[in-house]
Amino acid sequence: MTTQVKVRPSGHQFLVEGHANLLQSGLHSGLRLNYGCGNGSCGMCKVRVIAGEVAQTQHSDYQLSQTEKAQGYTLMCCNTAASSELTLELLEACGPQDIPQQQIVTHVRAVTTLAPHTRLLHLQTPRTHRLRFLAGQSVRLGWAMPGQDDVHATYPLASCPCDDRNLTFFITQDPADALSAHLFADDIKPGDAITVLGPSGEFVLADGNRPLVFAACDGGFAPIKSLIEHALSQDAAPSLSLFWLATQSDGHFASNQCRAWSEALDQFEYEQVTHPDMVVGAQQIAHAMRADLFDIDCDFYLAGRSEFVATLRDELRAAGVAQAQIVTQVV
């Protein structure tokens, strides 16, 4: 059975398919839901059923009061839809200010070489303590070798909030970054504990239904990937365009993923640019944008080194794009 769920007071809607629980269904649809453990222990995903029926999918340690039960409250993580239509009353995050700071001890699931100077770090949270964040945000990672002081670094998340247990990062080799140096020296191994503190940052999708244009330079693709996956889950933007500049020949380390989006989705366009000078590359992207996009009203999201972001932002502003429609992140 597939159920259409309506959300009050926002007016958002999402689908529940089969026996999927309400929480994961809402997250996969791009909703910014309030939750904590995801397994029925904390009660943070408590919502009120206004119309329709729900059915319990797993045991809950959190005990609702008799008054709450009488008023129709239930936990999203432990229930699925049991009627063809369902209306829930709940609060959603409006922006980064509504996401609490969290500290979670995760474990390294995998370290994968994507290119000579880029590695994928895959962390997994405990089942009972997932990271709540918005697409495009960053976290601070802490790791230590036995008998040594912790090393810390802040990286943007490359993963979608809908997969809150599996956190991925694209780490660029940088001798000035101690954690990166340890990663490329193969000191960080699967099973190692890494503390995650966050999230932070305001590089998040704005509300609205304008076409979305994303531009990344090198490792700036990480928060852009997170935003794209979130935008695809929302299915609200009429079109999405991605321009990715690499300053090295092997810099498009996730080009297969980008081409897959482009081939599978009619509304998705992908263009990759390679140039050793990020300022010249930014100018080339601006030229391509002017040729393809300036006849429509778009929101622009730019991420990369400061020279890239500043150059492309200034080009867009000079072409008449309003400042409010340009969101930037220096990575």
Distance of alpha carbon 232 from alpha carbon 36, whole angstroms:
24
Instruction: Please report the pLDDT score of residue 234 as a whole number.
Output: 85
Query: Would you give per-residue pLDDT tens digits along the chain (331 residues)?
Result: 899 999 999 999 999 998 899 999 999 888 999 888 888 888 889 999 999 999 999 988 899 999 999 999 999 999 999 999 999 999 888 899 999 999 999 999 999 999 999 999 999 999 888 999 999 999 999 999 887 889 999 999 999 998 889 999 999 999 999 999 999 999 999 999 999 999 999 999 988 888 999 999 999 999 999 999 999 988 878 999 999 999 998 899 999 999 999 999 999 999 999 999 999 999 999 999 988 766 678 999 999 999 999 999 999 999 889 999 999 999 9
**Environment class of 15 (CB within 10 Å of its CB; exposed 0-12, middle 13-18, buried 19+):** middle
Please identify, in words, the CATH class of the domain defined by 97-200: mainly beta
Alpha helix stretches (DSSP H) within 166-220? 178-184
On whether the CB atoms of residues 172 and 250 are closer than 8 A, the answer is no
CATH topology of domain 2-92: Ubiquitin-like (UB roll) (3.10.20)
Give the residue range(s) of CATH 3.10.20.30 domains in the chain.
2-92
> Which listed CATH number (3.30.70.1150, 3.40.50.80, 3.30.70.20, 3.40.50.300) goes with 212-330?
3.40.50.80
- Please check whether residue 288 is in contact with residue 260, taking contact to mean a CB–CB distance below 8 angstroms: no
d(CA 17, CA 47): 19
What is the C-alpha to C-alpha distance for residues 114 and 169, in angstroms, rounded to an integer?
11
Residue 295 pLDDT: 63
- Residue ranges of the chain that CATH labels 3.40.50.80: 212-330
Terminus-to-terminus CA distance in the chain, angstroms?
44
Q: What is the pLDDT of residue 127?
A: 84
Cα separation, 69 vs 65, whole angstroms: 6
Give me the pLDDT at residue 119, please: 97
pLDDT value for 161? 93
Residues of the chain within CATH 2.40.30.10 domain(s) are 97-200
Per-residue CA distances from 50 to 3, 11, 12 (Å): 15, 13, 15
pLDDT at 69: 92
pTM, 2 dp: 0.89
